Amino acid sequence: MTMANTTASQTEAPVFYLKEEHHPQNGTMLGFWLYLMSDCLIFAILFATHGVLGRNYAAGPSPADLFDLELVAINTSMLLFSSITYGFAMLAMEKGSIKGTQMWLAITGLFGIAFVGLELYEFHHLWHIGATPMRSGFLSSFYTLVATHGLHVTFGIIWLVTLMVQVGKRGLVPENKRRLMCLSLFWHFLDVIWIGVFSVVYLLGVLG
Amino acid sequence: MSTHSHAHDDHHGHDHGDGASHGTFNSYLIGFILSVILTAIPFWLVMDGVLDSKVATAAWIMGLGVVQIVVHMVYFLHMNTKSEGGWNMLALIFTLVIVAIAIAGSLWVMYHLNTNMMPQMDHEMIRSFG
């Protein structure tokens, strides 16, 4: 059948081009990728801001005074675990297992909540000892960058719970699969951004 | 699987189910193990102060970070030159160029601005104090 189609499209040139243009998913995945790239630009600007302001302590605390790298390492592992468990959710989805997909999504969500929880704990601790965004240029850019990432993860968790409900109600229909694939890109993309955050903000910051 | 096959069984439907490439259990596991290693090394370098040179440590952190981003792109985001007819990769390359210009440009301009502004600011401060 594929052979027949190929020969048919080769004899009629316009049809050949039409078939190339026609794409499954109506371009949603490409569109979502473009959204992620624009999101990437937001983070790039926040990274650039932190790069410029990151050493302006205004006689206040420096990263070495503030950051607990063990906490950051635990936080990083939470996000890493959530990445592979989301991968398992996608594998369960491909097998057509509703229960499996929901279970792995739930585990992913718990890791995400743990990540946001640890980050809020860190912010609360910093705030408590007087390291507020108003304290110095370094802290302003630190909170803006890290909280923007944390906010993305929070919205990712809300999206994830929404999809768990939708998969429960309608099953693994094509629409839900497409949404799960979009969230997959979103979730793994946030992990990529976090690599930049822990490398540049925390590790390079503490290094001084 | 039968629910979506009607949409595009006319071309490459057998290849990858939904028009995008998926990972397998092994590819996710490989990606995860590589990520753990690539995360652990920079944390270890900084937390245990392994290298004497700060510049060398910073270079390792950035280098390993870039490698880990590539690992995530390949094993988790399933980036390749063929997905969405190459448009994914083209958008990514375009974004990377913009990101490089934005970050490197900001740091470059602001560093020189700082250097050029400093003496004058000192001078004004001295004057205002004197």
Give the pLDDT confidence of A160-182 residue by residue, as tens digits: 999 999 999 999 999 999 999 99
Chain B residues with CB under 8 Å of A206 CB are 46
DSSP secondary structure, A38-55, as one string: HHHHHHHHHHHHHHHHTT
Chain B residues with CB under 8 Å of A70 CB are 47
Contact predicate A133/A143, CB 8 Å: yes
Chain B residues with CB under 8 Å of A25 CB are 18-20
Averaged pLDDT for residues B13-20:
42
- If we measure between CA atoms, which residue out of A156, A181, A140 comes closest to residue A28? A181
Our CA-based measurement puts residue B130 at a distance from the nearest CA of chain A, in whole angstroms, of: 23
Contact predicate B48/B77, CB 8 Å: no
The answer to whether residue B10 neighbours chain A at the CB level (below 8 Å) is yes
Chain B residues with CB under 8 Å of A32 CB are none
47-106 in B: which are within 8 Å (CB) of A? 47, 54, 57-58, 61-62, 64-65, 68-69, 72-73, 76-77, 84-85, 87-88, 91-92, 94-95, 98-99, 102-103, 105-106
pLDDT tens digit sequence for A107-142? 999 999 999 999 999 999 999 999 999 999 999 999
pLDDT tens digit sequence for B71-120? 999 999 988 888 888 899 999 999 999 999 999 999 999 988 888 876 55
Chain A residues with CB under 8 Å of B43 CB are 69, 72-73, 76, 203
CB contact under 8 A, B85 and A23: yes
Position A15 confidence tier, pLDDT thresholds 50, 70, 90:
low
Domain hosting A197: range is 64-208
The enclosing domain of A68 has a CATH number of: 1.20.120.80
Partner residue opposite B76 with nearest CB, options A49, A96, A188: A188
> CA nearest A178 in B: which residue?
B18
Interface test with B, best of A52, A170, A178, A179 (most B CBs within 10 A): A52
Contact predicate B41/B64, CB 8 Å: yes
Contact predicate A68/A100, CB 8 Å: no
What is the residue extent of each domain of chain B? 25-77, 83-117
Our CA-based measurement puts residue A22 at a distance from the nearest CA of chain B, in whole angstroms, of: 9
DSSP secondary structure, B43-101, as one string: HHHHHTT--S-HHHHHHHHHHHHHHHHHHHHHHTS---TTGGGGHHHHHHHHHHHHHHH
Chain B residues with CB under 8 Å of A67 CB are none
pTM of the model: 0.83
User: Of the given ranges (A11-25, A72-86, B112-126), which has the lowest mean pLDDT?
Assistant: A11-25
